[in-house]
Structure 1
């Protein structure tokens, strides 16, 4: 609208506003006449009305009053609005941003939007789209949001948006279904400014926990997880870490890092830890957006737990995990939403998550799903400090039983691809034992349970998992097996050292399924503080192992060792098994520093061990497991 039209509008409608004797019904009558005249070809009054709707910036008090008057009058004349003939008016109304007006205009506008939605189904999507568009401000407001008055405006706008969505849902029962679609279509892409995408997700989470959460909450959760995955897979490890596959999976954690990581102290220097993480993701805008969104999600999950709503949120998360996260290519951090949720309620959520994973491994029709599920399971059981040793043992027993049953029906063909699900299960068993064996053998009941699992039978089977699974995991497992004297090793087994054989490399193919442990340390600097208190770092396990190895070397003699025979299995069990090396059923000591500061470099003089009666080599131990990648074939 030009200046002249605006002047005419102000004159025409201003006369009505300044006439204190005019009633609301007369105002409505005037607007109705303008709408009807437009249908008959007389558009003067109609165009003036549309011009008023376009007033938005730096309005004078009389212009504000005029706009409020027209909005209220339209509210009383919605039945006269025609979706075809009054398109320009509707476009002006739905193009208005609440962020541009004071509270009087906001209130009049949302009342009109509610009336339009209730008057006809053809307006519902337009009304919902207009409201959802106000989840984020115009670009011109981004700087203002850093000021108190900007935050005040934000609260004024969003409070009205969510209340209006609730009012429309009450008046139009099917509107929540339409709202879900609108929100999914409008969700910012991964290249949107961090402030805008963060604010949009804030509103999605507010909907999930709000008055219409029961109607739209599940969609909000799923959509957020999908966006986390989109951001996650966009982060390229090739630009951050260069994996050297000639080294063992355990060794990649700190040995190749220089600079700040080498200076981390046991007393826990948070600034140095942040500096170390900054080395990976400093300036990576996608990682920073993902980090911010995960923090928002973590805070929301904690609030849900405190309000007694975590169960229903977790059930949705679990479904989303199964459909999306489980098979996401190179998912690095988004899965920690599940980890954190489980840490809030280990008995319920934590148990459900593990049982779901083992069920997928045992019964899914798709090998790739089964392999991914057991990798998630192994990583979760190994890294979750809140998972008890007894629960780990019970899940481990299910894996062992499945692998044992598989062996009974197989010959000796070590075809890595043909038996890849079996080898994935075996590798998961050994991986979990690398982290948990010490805490389990410290408890007599669990030590006996481990012995009765007959893991030896699987290792000695002609399928020979020790030669197919990742050598660094096999080596660490064998070192602990020798130390615990729980398992015997096939006498004809000759380890590959840190080099892989062709059959081992065939397991998972060039996309390295054998390297996929999804709960490797989280390298997002803001999200990490939520994960760290409940997370087991490899350095914690390694430091305990070193202390125990030193004690064994000093205090164990031949007289302390008894031969225990059980059929074809023979195991050497030390009398000092009853010595406490853990905390019973509790996890690693709470005095551990849960930061990367505790990550020590591999010991200079690792112990040698015997295989098949011959001293083979010394195992160089890892300090922290490097970030994982999942196979592209998935």
Structure 2
């Protein structure tokens, strides 16, 4: 090929070569390392001449199979990319798209039954090395073009795999996005926002009840099949069959839950590794990550109704240091009392506050009491402001944040009253009596009428035992009144009682995902059945003795719909290789 005089550069890109054909077609056929290296060296020598007129040639060069090749090919290709983006920034987007497209396993054709099926090559042994080379390329491009981050975010969004892709494909892409967030810190918030937005789509498509039903059915089917096998063969070896089956492992049977579990493992591992250096908590790095996650929480998680698992990323981060948990509670408290925020978000903030106080076992009693000392006086002030007004009656649309704050207090006391009373019963009782819960329960706004029945009944049982307030008279009076009803969505005259008029949910209800739960369970306060002296007959009607969650059946379930919370807006980092992540490091040394 004639380089002197750059003759082929001054002609259209379909320049013919010595033995027929054209440059583009010839380049596409080259497979040997030496051939590819020679062409890349030729391109580097005349990179300033590779203008927009030669984009077809450049696009062929960008499609060369350079990943996983010999070190010489990779080194030459990276040098070519560096020279290209430095001299011809018009190709920056094309180079970035090429690199990002390799963040997932390549597609391969599998012949099944005489039919070619395209699938991802999840078993590629070169995958970790290929990912490393991709990140080397991105770091090089970022070094030569400072504006890389501005062009990279839209490409990351555009190339995010469809959420119905395989768990491995999603895992690889998310893992690589988080690696990008390490060496380009300015993109971390955008990357977290992108990942969490996709995870929320999975989360709302897999309600707790649906996951539990699918998993229980799988276990029952296994047990049934096992019993049949034992009846036929009566062999000891058959007893071990359940251990090798999906329900007997950490794999979720529910397909959406399995994808979400995989991504939660990667995200939680990233959070842990970002916040720790050599096993010790790095306070400054942790604070920076907390700020990013809280921003994503406000923008995406808080407005999403009935998400089940994604919010546990912040729950997990707050467990690293008490100051983080207190900062999160303070943030929720500011949202709740802020009149500049929509009522629906204030209500959601109250739900998060109550659920976090109840379920985070790393919170000391002093923090729980401090939050109650904020919530309860606010309730009393609200009651005082309404008592003499024209709106002093039970109405969810008028007093939604108040009712959710009441439910948060009741829910917190249900879970935490024992820890408040432990140590010094006399002082604990004096504290609870000082909250003046009777005034809240007896006020004209009547919070017991709109709170979840399970919460109301359990709160009534506990306060009765300790003679704090007697709620049953009000509960019975409320039950005699006509409660709000909802008509059947399928039409007809069938109506049912609305037992959740607040449309509330508790974001930190029991965690259902198997693998990622290993990080959550040690931090989680499970529901403990009260003693017989507390549990009255009416409370037993609202609880399942064999379950963690006494609210079972009370909280709403979404049916694959992601949306804003119902209501009106008017009023050194290592990948988690032990759980199947790509065995590579998030943090890359400068190339």
- TM bracket, shorter-chain basis: 0.7 to 0.9
Which residue pairs with 1:613 in the alignment?
A: none
Which residue pairs with 1:179 in the alignment?
A: 152
Distance 2:218 2:108 in 1: 43
Does residue 534 of structure 1 match 2:507?
no
CA offset at residue 338 of structure 1? 1.3
SS at match of 2:361: coil
CA contact (8 A) 2:181 2:187 kept: yes
RMSD between superposed Cα atoms in Å: 3.8
Does residue 385 of structure 1 match 2:367?
no
CA offset at residue 87 of structure 1? 2.4
Deviations 1:473-503 (A, max 9, x none): 1110111112223x12268424379999515
Which residue pairs with 2:95 in the alignment?
A: 127
Distance 1:500 1:624 in 2: 32
CA offset at residue 55 of structure 1? 3.2
Does residue 362 of structure 1 match 2:333?
no
Which residue pairs with 1:235 in the alignment?
A: 206
Instruction: Work out which of the residue numbers 187, 190, 205 in structure 2 matches 1:216.
Output: 187
Distance 2:298 2:22 in 1: 56
Change in CA separation of 1:35 and 1:92 when aligned onto 2, cut-off 3 Å:
same
Does residue 86 of structure 1 match 2:75?
no
Instruction: Work out which of the residue numbers 399, 402, 405 in structure 1 matches 2:381.
Output: 405
Deviations 1:355-378 (A, max 9, x none): 111111111521110111111111
Which residue pairs with 1:463 in the alignment?
A: 445
Instruction: Work out which of the residue numbers 4, 12, 24 in structure 2 matches 1:50.
Output: 24
Does residue 108 of structure 1 match 2:76?
yes
Distance 2:458 2:323 in 1: 32
Distance 1:49 1:332 in 2: 55
Which residue pairs with 1:247 in the alignment?
A: none
Change in CA separation of 1:491 and 1:471 when aligned onto 2, cut-off 3 Å:
closer
CA offset at residue 49 of structure 1? 3.2
CA contact (8 A) 1:362 1:370 kept: yes
Does residue 291 of structure 1 match 2:283?
no
Deviations 1:276-306 (A, max 9, x none): 9789995432211111000001111111121
SS at match of 1:140: strand
Distance 1:476 1:505 in 2: 25
Structure whose alpha-carbon radius of gyration is higher: 1
Change in CA separation of 1:443 and 1:165 when aligned onto 2, cut-off 3 Å:
same
CA contact (8 A) 1:374 1:428 kept: yes
- Point out the more displaced range, 169-178 or 305-314: 305-314
CA offset at residue 326 of structure 1? 0.7
Distance 2:482 2:522 in 1: 38
CA offset at residue 517 of structure 1? 0.6
- Point out the more displaced range, 415-424 or 366-375: 415-424
Q: How many residues align?
A: 508
Distance 1:175 1:532 in 2: 40
CA offset at residue 272 of structure 1? 9.4
- Compare relative contact order (CA 8 Å, sep 6+) and give the higher one, 1 or 2: 2
Does residue 77 of structure 1 match 2:46?
yes
Which residue pairs with 1:427 in the alignment?
A: 407
CA offset at residue 28 of structure 1? 5.4
CA offset at residue 325 of structure 1? 0.5
| Structure 1 residues without counterparts, runs of 5 or longer | 1-12, 14-26, 243-253, 263-270, 551-605, 609-615
CA contact (8 A) 2:372 2:409 kept: yes
CA offset at residue 94 of structure 1? 2.2
Which residue pairs with 1:301 in the alignment?
A: 271
Change in CA separation of 1:348 and 1:497 when aligned onto 2, cut-off 3 Å:
same
Does residue 194 of structure 1 match 2:176?
no
Deviations 1:433-461 (A, max 9, x none): 11011111225455433322222211111
CA offset at residue 156 of structure 1? 2.6
Please show how residues 305-324 of structure 1 align to structure 2 within 5 Å: 305-307=275-277, 308=282, 309-324=285-300
Q: TM-score, normalized by length of structure 2?
A: 0.77
Deviations 1:58-96 (A, max 9, x none): x3xxx321111111110121111121x212202202223
Which residue pairs with 1:603 in the alignment?
A: none
Change in CA separation of 1:534 and 1:239 when aligned onto 2, cut-off 3 Å:
closer
CA contact (8 A) 2:454 2:539 kept: no
CA offset at residue 178 of structure 1? 1.0
Distance 2:447 2:263 in 1: 41
Distance 2:104 2:407 in 1: 47
Distance 1:207 1:321 in 2: 21
Distance 2:477 2:221 in 1: 33
Distance 2:431 2:417 in 1: 12
| Structure 2 residues without counterparts, runs of 5 or longer | 110-118, 224-240, 488-496, 559-563, 568-591
